[in-house]
């Protein structure tokens, strides 16, 4: 079976969904059951000969002017299933990516969509919500907060909840490697507290500076900070301010392996989402894979869960987060779950859906 995955972003472009898509394609291709290709942005510059799947980097703008380019690329690969990921950084707010499922359905392809976020119950969900095929969501409660009319719109799809996982590998740095990382961030006799990921107001990064102990902790922000963006400027004000100057370090964007080694060398990782996180956050999986203590937030869970080495605080409850960090900083879980096993399960669930849709398509063709 031939599977073509469409994503606006793909490594080395910076995008969590792009990283997820690359790992998914790699795991699917490794099963040898499928021939896999990824159609993505023309901006990527990399040698893809080492990937077990084909990379087709041909889409230039993700606007209507790329309609023929998308159709031509899909027709050339001639997939049995076209699987489109939403959203990605490269799509920006363009309308065209939302139209791709509709266009490909009209010309005869079986379409699967993965929605990594809650689509708003407005026009965005309406545009590609009605297209038949498959729908994968990564949030376990996806249907619970959607109105009945919206659920009716997507009822024509083979619906699946398939949890996601982190593209960050599990690592075990040596004592020497760990010490070198801690020295880099003045963490030999201090507690090393790390944040990693994209930077936006819902990440709650500013609260880290209130939660951490000025005398005990050193903060590492593994992220890009652009002074032209207002929220980024707010974070840079803390980084460069007199209180945390020399005690907070920024690394910019780093490749997954380097991120993993820093996470594995830290005393705690903080992801203080203002709206609450959950198993759909790949960053949560990335931390748990290292065995490092994670302090994050949730609207569904509260307290310390030793099997995950994670404390879930109420979003915005700074005193609770401060107490949790002081209590569990430095706690480590030995032999954490290897994310590769999660990816194998994810790939199996995808393949099962692909086969179901492919079988239905053959039956319809036979009966026509």
Tell me: the pLDDT tens digits for 280-321?
A: 888 898 999 999 999 999 999 999 999 999 999 999 999 999
Tokens 């990605």 label which residue? 88
335 pLDDT more than 80: no
CA atoms of 192 and 161, how far apart (whole Å): 36
Q: Write the pLDDT tens digit of every residue in 23-32.
A: 999 999 999 8
Q: What is the pLDDT of residue 251?
A: 97
Instruction: Give which of 296, 319, 342, 291 is closest to 196, Cα–Cα.
Output: 296
Instruction: Give residue limits of the domains in the chain.
Output: 2-167+341-367, 175-337
Q: Is the CATH number of domain 175-337 3.40.190.10? A: no
**Torsion (CA) 181, 222, 7, 46 in degrees, nearest 10:** -50
The neighbour count for residue 243, using CB atoms within 10 Å, is 9
* E strand intervals along 68-140: 81-86, 110-115, 133-137
Residue 79 pLDDT grade (very low, low, confident, very high; cuts 50, 70, 90):
very high
**Torsion over CA: 152, 153, 158, 163 (sign):** negative
Token readout for 102 is: 């509709």
CA 180 to chain centre: 28
Which of 3.40.50.300, 3.40.5.10, 3.40.50.1100, 3.40.50.2000 is the CATH number of 2-167+341-367? 3.40.50.2000
- Once rounded to an integer, what is the mean pLDDT over residues 356-368? 82
Q: Write the pLDDT tens digit of every residue in 106-144.
A: 999 999 999 998 765 456 667 888 899 999 999 888 888
Q: Which residues pair with 303 in a beta bridge?
A: 312
Q: What is the pLDDT of residue 115?
A: 93
Q: Is 220 helix (H, G, I), strand (E, B) or coil?
A: strand
Percent of the chain beyond pLDDT 70?
95
258 pLDDT more than 60: yes
What is the pairing mode between strands 110-115 and 81-86? parallel
**Torsion over CA: 137, 91, 9, 266 (sign):** negative
Q: What is the pLDDT of residue 121?
A: 47
Q: How far is CA 68 from CA 42, 104, 188, in A?
A: 15, 11, 57
Q: What is the pLDDT of residue 250?
A: 97
Contact present, 332 and 12 (Cβ < 8 Å): no
175-337 has the same fold as 2-167+341-367: yes
* CB-side neighbour CA atoms (13 Å) of 320: 15
Q: Write the pLDDT tens digit of every residue in 135-173.
A: 999 988 888 878 888 889 889 999 999 998 888 889 999
Contact present, 253 and 243 (Cβ < 8 Å): no
Q: What is the pTM assigned to this prediction?
A: 0.88
Q: What is the mean pLDDT of the chain?
A: 92
Q: Which of 10-19, 101-110, 141-150 has the lowest mean pLDDT?
A: 141-150
Instruction: Give which of 62, 61, 57 is closest to 46, Cα–Cα.
Output: 57
Q: Which of 16-20, 72-76, 269-273 has the lowest mean pLDDT?
A: 16-20
Q: Write the pLDDT tens digit of every residue in 59-77.
A: 999 999 999 999 999 999 9
Q: What is the pLDDT of residue 272?
A: 97
Percent of the chain beyond pLDDT 90?
75
Residues across the chain: 368
Q: What is the pLDDT of residue 269?
A: 98
- Once rounded to an integer, what is the mean pLDDT over residues 76-94? 94
Token readout for 261 is: 């080694």
Cβ-Cβ contacts under 8 Å for 18 (sequence gap 6 or more)? 7, 8, 9, 10, 11, 40, 88, 89, 90
Instruction: Give which of 98, 80, 71 is closest to 37, Cα–Cα.
Output: 80
The residue that leads in pLDDT, 46 or 185, is 185
Q: How far is CA 323 from CA 209, 304, 311, 327, 329, in A?
A: 14, 11, 10, 6, 10
Residue 49 pLDDT grade (very low, low, confident, very high; cuts 50, 70, 90):
low
What single-letter DSSP state applies at residue 179? H
Q: How far is CA 203 from CA 66, 132, 192, 243, 303, in A?
A: 33, 34, 19, 22, 20
């Amino acid at each position: 079976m031939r599977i073509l995955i469409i994503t606006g972003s793909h490594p080395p472009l910076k995008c969590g969904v792009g990283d997820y898509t690359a790992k998914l394609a790699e795991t699917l291709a490794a099963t040898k059951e499928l021939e896999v290709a990824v159609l993505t942005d023309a901006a990527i510059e990399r040698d893809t000969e080492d990937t077990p799947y084909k990379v087709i980097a041909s889409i230039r703008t993700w606007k209507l002017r790329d309609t023929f380019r998308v159709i031509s690329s899909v027709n050339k690969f001639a997939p049995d299933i076209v699987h489109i990921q939403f959203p990605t950084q490269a799509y920006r707010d363009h309308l065209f990516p939302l139209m791709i499922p509709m266009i490909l359905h009209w010309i005869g392809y079986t379409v699967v969509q993965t929605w990594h976020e809650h689509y708003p119950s407005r026009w965005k969900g309406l545009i590609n919500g009605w297209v038949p095929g498959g729908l994968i969501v990564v949030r376990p409660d996806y249907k619970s907060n959607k109105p009945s009319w919206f659920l009716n719109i997507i009822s024509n799809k083979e619906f699946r909840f398939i949890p996601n996982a982190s593209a960050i590998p599990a690592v075990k740095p040596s004592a020497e490697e760990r010490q070198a990382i801690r020295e880099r961030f003045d963490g030999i006799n201090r507690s090393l507290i790390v944040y990693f990921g994209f930077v936006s107001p819902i990440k709650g990064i500013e609260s880290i500076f209130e939660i951490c102990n000025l005398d005990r902790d050193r903060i590492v922000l593994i992220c890009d900070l652009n002074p032209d963006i207002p929220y980024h400027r707010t974070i840079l004000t803390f980084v460069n301010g007199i209180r945390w100057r020399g005690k907070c370090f920024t690394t910019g964007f780093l490749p997954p392996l380097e991120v993993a080694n820093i996470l594995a060398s830290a005393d705690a990782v903080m992801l203080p989402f203002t709206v609450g996180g959950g198993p759909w956050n790949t960053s949560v999986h990335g931390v748990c894979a290292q065995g490092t203590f994670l302090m994050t937030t949730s609207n569904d869970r509260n307290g310390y869960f030793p099997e995950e080495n994670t404390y879930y605080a109420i979003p915005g409850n700074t005193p609770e987060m401060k107490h949790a960090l002081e209590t569990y900083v430095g706690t480590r879980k030995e032999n954490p779950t290897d994310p590769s096993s999660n990816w194998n399960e994810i790939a199996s669930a995808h393949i099962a859906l692909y086969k179901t849709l492919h079988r239905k398509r053959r039956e319809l063709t036979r009966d026509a």
